[in-house]
Amino acid sequence: MFTKNFTRRTFLQTALAGALALGVGGTSFAKALVAEKGSLSLYNTHNNERLSVTFRGADGNYDLDALNAINWILRCHYTNQETIMDVNTIEYLNLVDNRLGGGNEIHIISGYRSPSYNSLLSNNGRHVAKQSLHLFGKAIDIAIPGIELGTIRKTALALQMGGVGYYPGAGFVHIDSGNFRTW
Residue pair 156/98 in contact by the 8 Å Cβ criterion: no
Q: What angle do CA 37, 67, 173 make, to 5 degrees?
A: 80
Residue 1 lies in a domain: no
| Residue 21, in any domain of the structure | yes
Q: Do the domain assignments include residue 34?
A: yes
Domain membership of residue 70 as a residue range: 8-182
Q: Considering the domain boundaries, does residue 2 fall inside one?
A: no
Q: Is the pLDDT assigned to residue 28 strictly greater than 60?
A: no
pLDDT tens, position by position, 107-151: 999 999 999 988 888 777 677 777 789 999 999 999 999 999 999
Write the CA distances from 171 to 141, 152, 175, integer angstroms: 9, 11, 14
Give the number of domains in the chain: 1
In-domain check, residue 128? yes
CATH number, domain of 80, equals: 3.30.1380.10
**pTM of the predicted structure, to 2 decimals:** 0.81
Q: What is the pLDDT of residues 87-118, one digit of tens each?
A: 999 999 999 999 999 999 999 999 999 999 88
Domain membership of residue 58 (yes or no) is yes
